[in-house]
Amino acid sequence: MKRRDFLFAGAGAAVLSGAPVNPTQRYLARIQALNPSLRAVIEVNPDALKIAAQSMRGPLQGVPVLLKDNIETADGMQTTAGSLSLERSPVPKDAFLVTRLRAAGAVILGKTNMSEWANFRSTHAVSGWSGRGGQTRNPYALDRNPSGSSSGSAVAVAANLCAIAVGTETDGSIVSPASVNGIVGIKPTVGLISRSGIIPISASQDTAGPMARTVREAAILLSVLSGVDPEDPATADAQHAEIDYTKTLDAKGLRGARLGIARKSFGFNADVDQLMEGCIAHLRSEGAEIIDPIELPPDAKISEHEQEVLLYEFKAGLNDYLKRRGSKETLASLIEFNNRESRREMPYFRQELFEQAEKKGPLSDPAYQSARAECLRLTRTDGIDPAFAKHRLDALVAPTSCLAWLTDWINGDAANGGCSTPPAVAGYPHITVPAGFVHGLPAGISFFGLPWSEPTLLRIAYGFEQTTHARREPRMLATARNTP
């Protein structure tokens, strides 16, 4: 995995192959030019150029990377999860994944805007909005939503404000914004990438992951981010997965792959269904064996138990995180802050989820234990695991997400489809790749599988990408055109 393998595609960018350009300067200039319209970057690293000049040797030497604003950096930038309540609250050290990025020679270019508190504050939230960063906009149609909560990371990659970015996901927050912004997103097996130094929602579902314009770039980033961290027990099994993921890529990776179609994730949009049927036909034509349909438990049944788990884990995890950070804040005091600062923090939606979580007890409560057991039963024992065993699958396939909806600060989000919940709740890996366009808006196709199956999923995703080349650069149109 050499530095020259890393392509910087898109308008205004260059290939790092000895060309006499400074990519950090070019990206900073692009951020200055486009970010006022997109609001994808919440803060630029004041030391970015100095870091670039002193960049260490490694697979990401000199590569500018943007980080979601819930990932700690002990430098001149803040880590706030988009909330005004954590402004000017320093962190003690870099997140573990940031130490790996720096050791690999990456230039931490800045922080990206996000759905505040990773979209876990209100039941009527507007994705891509935060009190600190304002509203992120979709670069394909500026009146459309970028989806959340890794909104800024996805938009920054799509609009070429950085080479690569890091997002985080609890359920859909990498793959959905990746899909609606026309990029590649990887939600890895929980435990492949350390969560220490990341503002949490859920100990059982949270993970960071790569966001990139190509599968190869995402694989390079995944190789750097993955690893064992003594401060995150979930990474104990990650040692066997510390590999160079680029070596798993194969342009003919679809040949012989056994792919199951998760039909329950279809049906939310007839035009997306039509696009997906074309993708399935393409998978078959490239040598994949298609098993259709594959039955999985309905998302509604899973989500009922998932929500209970997240409320419990958010309260416990956030209070513990804030204490370790050295902050005097608690979930209760954050609720009070939002009430005091409601004109700035709650102009469009409130904090129902904060209030529901605050009422929960400890993780020893039987209600929590029961809900978590049901989550595992529905997504693993009676869900993904038997489907793979019965049909000897390499991956499950589905449309990643609905199309980008109009941003609506009165009614909130209007998302109406997607496949993120089963792999997210199970803690299993999930990759989305650009599949095409519907009415000028990007749509992604998902491949998800069993734990630690990232090499297989990357091979399949790369095979699809290399035989379709479906991604197109965004043009920052005012609105989506009403044509196929």
The whole-model pTM stands at: 0.96
What is the reported pLDDT for 9? 43
Name the active-site residue from 85, 127, 147, 149.
149
Look up the CATH superfamily of 3-468.
Answer: Amidase signature (AS) domain (3.90.1300.10)
Catalytic residue flag (residue 37)? no
- What residues contact 66, with CB distance under 8 A and at least 6 apart? 41, 109, 110, 111, 112, 152, 153, 156, 157, 161, 162, 164, 165, 166
Nearest 5°: CA angle at 358, between 341 and 135? 40
Hey, is 299 helix, strand or coil? helix
- What residues contact 260, with CB distance under 8 A and at least 6 apart? 290, 291, 292, 293, 294, 387, 388, 391, 393, 395, 396, 397
Catalytic residue flag (residue 264)? no
Catalytic residue flag (residue 204)? no
Q: Cα–Cα distance between 234 and 317 in angstroms, integer?
A: 14
Name the active-site residue from 55, 68, 176, 196.
68
Quick one: how far is CA 16 from the chain centroid? Answer: 25
Name the active-site residue from 85, 151, 153, 173.
173
Q: Cα–Cα distance between 155 and 333 in angstroms, integer?
A: 32
Tokens 């049944």 belong to residue: 301
Going residue by residue through the chain (484 aa), what tens digit of pLDDT does each one get? Answer: 444 344 444 333 333 333 324 899 999 999 999 999 999 999 999 999 999 999 889 999 999 999 999 999 999 999 999 999 999 999 999 999 999 999 999 999 999 999 999 999 999 999 999 999 999 999 999 999 999 999 999 999 999 999 999 999 999 999 999 999 999 999 999 999 999 999 999 999 999 999 999 999 999 999 999 999 999 999 999 887 789 999 999 999 999 999 999 999 999 999 999 999 999 999 999 999 999 999 999 999 999 999 999 999 999 999 999 999 999 999 999 999 999 999 999 999 999 999 999 999 999 999 999 999 999 999 999 999 999 999 999 999 999 999 999 999 999 999 999 999 999 999 999 999 999 999 999 999 999 999 999 999 999 999 999 999 999 999 999 999 865 5
What is the reported pLDDT for 8? 44
Under 8 Å between Cβ of 464 and 454: no
Hey, is 94 helix, strand or coil? coil
Q: Cα–Cα distance between 115 and 198 in angstroms, integer?
A: 15
Tokens 């902050």 belong to residue: 327
- What residues contact 384, with CB distance under 8 A and at least 6 apart? 296, 396, 422, 423, 426, 428, 448, 449, 450
